[in-house]
Amino acid sequence: MYQFSKNNVPLYSKQRLDSKMAQKILLNSKDIHIILHRLACQLLENHIDFSNTVLVGLQPRGTFLANRISQILKEEYNIQNLKLGQLDITFFRDDFRRRDEPLEANSTNLNFTIENKKVVLVDDVLFSGRSIRSALTAIQSFGRPDSVELLVLIDRRFSRHLPIQPNYKGRQVDVINSEKVKVIWKENNKKDAVYLINNN
């Protein structure tokens, strides 16, 4: 229902004006807390003491998730000497030379070898699979791993361009291409949350 001013002019609410960018929350802070602990437990089941396993967060957004998982494993499950790195895939993307604007690279920090290691790649959202393909190419510069697994917070299962699936997933969501999944972390946004944003 419209509201009218004294001159009988309809007043549009901010919610109506912002309808083209409407968003709803998929996961709140409590949901994410529970999911992170579940993911940590699933990793523990498969990797026990992590003596031959390394976690690699994909820059920039996967590093927040990797840091959280690492913190839980160290502080709550007493996993010692857990190896954690950050991998930038900017120059390995298949659209690197197709963009009008230059891509801004992030830092790679892998101060350990991955030769014959079990590598767990960590990212916040699995969408088309192209970022993961780029990560698989980039990681080869640091050795030949024994195996590679994928852990994601959100799996957009109907958005894949490549045959890539996660080994560990926090939540599976079914969204259309015009919708965007946005993950925010308290480290840089004061709270943890996952939003579904409709760009129509």
Q: Where are the domains of the chain?
A: 21-89+112-198
What's the pLDDT at 10?
Answer: 42
State the pLDDT at residue 19: 45
**pLDDT score of 176:** 80
Enumerate residues 6+ apart whose C-beta is below 8 A from 179: 196, 197, 198, 199
- pLDDT score, position 21: 60
**What is the full DSSP assignment across 28-89?**
-HHHHHHHHHHHHHHHHHHHTT-TTEEEEEETTTHHHHHHHHHHHHHHHH--TT-EEEEE--
For the chain, 200 residues long, the average pLDDT of each consecutive 10-residue run is 43 41 90 98 97 96 97 96 95 62 77 96 95 94 96 92 95 87 94 90
**CA distances from residue 139 to 2, 7, 12, 57, 89 in whole angstroms, order as listed:** 56, 65, 51, 11, 9
- What does the pLDDT read at residue 17? 34
Q: Which residues contact 175 (CB under 8 A, 6 or more apart)?
A: 156, 158, 159, 181, 196
> Contact, 54 vs 119, CB < 8 A?
yes
Amino acid 163: pLDDT? 92
What is the structure's pLDDT at 111? 92
61/153 Cα distance (integer angstroms): 11
Nearest to 196, CA basis, from 28, 17, 60: 28
Angle at 77 between CA 191 and CA 108, to 5 degrees: 60
Cis before 60? omega within 30? yes
Fold of 21-89+112-198: Rossmann fold (3.40.50)
